[in-house]
Structures are given as structure tokens and as C-alpha cells.
Amino acid sequence: MLTLKKENHVFEALGNKSFFKLICGASFTDNVLVENLSFIFTLAGAHVIDLAPHADIVIAAKNGVEKAIEFGKKDKRFKYNLKPPLLMASIQLDLDPHFRKVEVDRNLCDVCGACVKVCPTEAFKINENEGVKDFIYNKERCYGCGICPSYCHVKALNMTEVKMDPYNTLNDMLLLGLKSIEFHFGKNYLRIREIWDKIKDLVKKLELVSFSLGSGLLSDIEIKDAARLCFELAGSNIILQCDGIPMSGGRSNAGKNGHNNDELSLHVAKLIEEEKMPVYLQIAGGTTEFSFDNVKNSGLPVNGIAVGSYARKLLIPYLNDIYSDQNFSSAFRIARSLVQSSAVSGNYN
């Protein structure tokens, strides 16, 4: 069992159940948008920002955090005590839906435009010049939500796995100065035990470790087994991320029936809570600004929420030009209201 450091504002937020994590996306590799998301959510007070495990993405997030801290020092509107969030990278231990991207078969695509309308991060664009349509796919923006393939009538869109070596990736993230990692193992939670001896000395260097447990990937019994295994290997200061429907916050109905969106993640939280382990529980997968209220109504001891697809979808219109006054105001208002939803709901203090 590991002993991880506990003295910082992140653990304070977990302890008082007001923890907020922004998920940029384990496969989201758009440097500019990651920098700007990190900038605005640092100003908004996020405790952790979760990233794809790539050097350029980590550097982009660090830039965003640094710019926010400098911005906060100079701008009188930021009277509250701005603390830099902990940057976390997501690492894949086995096949997991968070690690994939769509591929386009351009031989099949007839540029119908259906996918353009449904992608939450505007990964597709069609340019038209003198009657000739040009289909543009910005692969960096795809975070693998899986929405678009079912809208393509010629089956030109297919999900493909993003592969990585967990040990080398973890080592790379440590060399970049990261202190926090989230592990994903999809259906194969026993993979953690297989790999633990190899990675545990690297894990000891971290301040915060999270494990993502998905409701659609594991049975109720497996969720309990997986949670016990994470605790047995990594100890009591870990976060267990209770994932509802991964990456579903970008769907068109997300946030519209907000009081029902978190049922699956809260079900995972309830199963883990029954095991009575001293770990932190945090929900994700379809979370919105209603999620803290849903936690409150559930009566479960959930320590915080993570918001990913929903936040990106709301903010995407402002992210390319975040420093214009109008875009900044709109983006900050959205980010701050998400981070503060715990305070607004009166859930925690």
C-alpha cells in the first residue's frame, strides 16, 4: 500500500466534498484548446485538470495554468485566492473507450455533412469553393465519444483504438513533472494487479492517483472487486472515479434532463460505498451543472465531480479566441458556474 502526500487544496476540496475536476479528455489532443481550457478553468477554480498523456498537451496545459495565474494577479475581478490546479494525465492499462479516435474513409465519404452537425468539439468542417465541397477532419479535436459513426450513412467513420505503453507513458509524465495520474483499464480490472509490480515505484512519486471504473464495462460484482483491488494496491488517498456513460456529456440531451443524468455513476458510487473503504469517490460520465444536486439528493458520500464532454461542448464557441473580452466573459461565466455548482446548490461548505 502506498502513502501519498495529503497536504494541499486538492485534498482539502476532496475532504469537504467540493472537489471539481475538468476533464480535457484522454484522447483530446488539440493543444490550443487544451491551453485555453486550462486557462479558463484555472481562473474558475478547478482543483484538477485531466489531460491526454502527451508531452505537448501537458506543456499546453501548463502554459494555460501559468497564463491564468499571471492574469489573476493583474485583474481586480479575481479577488479570491487563485490556486493552480493539479495536472493529471490519463493512462490506459487495457482496452478502454476513453482511448480512441475516429478515422475517416475518404473513399466512402460523400460530404453529406451529417457528422459536422453532431460532433460536440467541431472536429469536422466542410469548406465550399465554387461548388466544390472539401471535407476537413481535425483529428486532434476528436476525443472518441463515438457519436458520429452512427450518423454516417456510408459507414465512412470508424472508431480506432489509441495504443500506449503504460510504464513508458507514466515515466514520461513524471519526467514532465506531473504529480497525478488516472488509470483506465476498461473491462480488464485484473490488469492492475498484473502491472502493479512494474509501475508501483513510479506511482510512489505521485501525489494523487485516480482509477476510473465504468458502469457499462463492469458488472456490479466486478465494480466492487475492482474497487477493493485499487484500494489494496494503492491505498487510502486514492480517488475512485465512478463513471456513468463515458463521454456522454456532449450528447444533445445532456444537461436538459439534468436530474436524471447521473443515475449510473451514482449507482457505481453506491456499490463502492457499500465496501466501506477510506477512499475518495468522484462521479463522471454525463455530469453537468446538475450533478452536485444529484449527489446531494442521493445522500451518498461522494467527494466531487468531474466534467468533461459537457464543459467542452458549452465552451467550444469561445475557445479559439479566449482573450477577446466577450469570449472571455462568456467562457468564464460558464466555467465558474460549473466549478461552483457545489456552492450554488448549497450542497457542501
> Binding residues for ligand SF4, per CB under 6 A?
102, 104, 109-115, 118-119, 121, 123, 135, 142-148, 151-152, 154, 156-157
Spatial separation of the C-alpha atoms in residues 17 and 303, rounded to whole Å: 4
DSSP calls for 229-278: HHHHHH-TT-EEEEESSTTGGGSTTTTTTGGGTTHHHHHHHHHHHTT--S
Given the complex with ligand SF4, which of 2 and 162 has the nearer CB atom?
Answer: 162
Spatial separation of the C-alpha atoms in residues 277 and 236, rounded to whole Å: 8
> What is the residue whose three cell numbers read 482511448?
99
Given the complex with ligand SF4, which of 104 and 339 has the nearer CB atom?
Answer: 104
Q: Smallest gap, in angstroms, from Cβ of residue 138 to ligand SF4?
A: 9
Given the complex with ligand SF4, which of 151 and 196 has the nearer CB atom?
Answer: 151
Given the complex with ligand SF4, which of 158 and 219 has the nearer CB atom?
Answer: 158
Q: Smallest gap, in angstroms, from Cβ of residue 288 to ligand SF4?
A: 18
Given the complex with ligand SF4, which of 43 and 306 has the nearer CB atom?
Answer: 306
Q: Smallest gap, in angstroms, from Cβ of residue 341 to ligand SF4?
A: 24
Give the residues across from 212 on adjacent strands.
Answer: 184, 241
Q: Smallest gap, in angstroms, from Cβ of residue 155 to ligand SF4?
A: 8
Given the complex with ligand SF4, which of 115 and 279 has the nearer CB atom?
Answer: 115
If 0-12 CB within 10 Å is exposed, 13-18 middle and 19+ buried, where does residue 116 land? middle
**Helix, strand, coil tally for the chain in percent (to 5):** 40, 20, 40
Spatial separation of the C-alpha atoms in residues 230 and 210, rounded to whole Å: 9
- Kindly state the cell numbers that stand for 118: 453532431
For 33, the enclosing helix (H) or strand (E) is helix 31-44
Spatial separation of the C-alpha atoms in residues 50 and 78, rounded to whole Å: 23
Q: Smallest gap, in angstroms, from Cβ of residue 74 to ligand SF4?
A: 35
Q: Smallest gap, in angstroms, from Cβ of residue 148 to ligand SF4?
A: 3
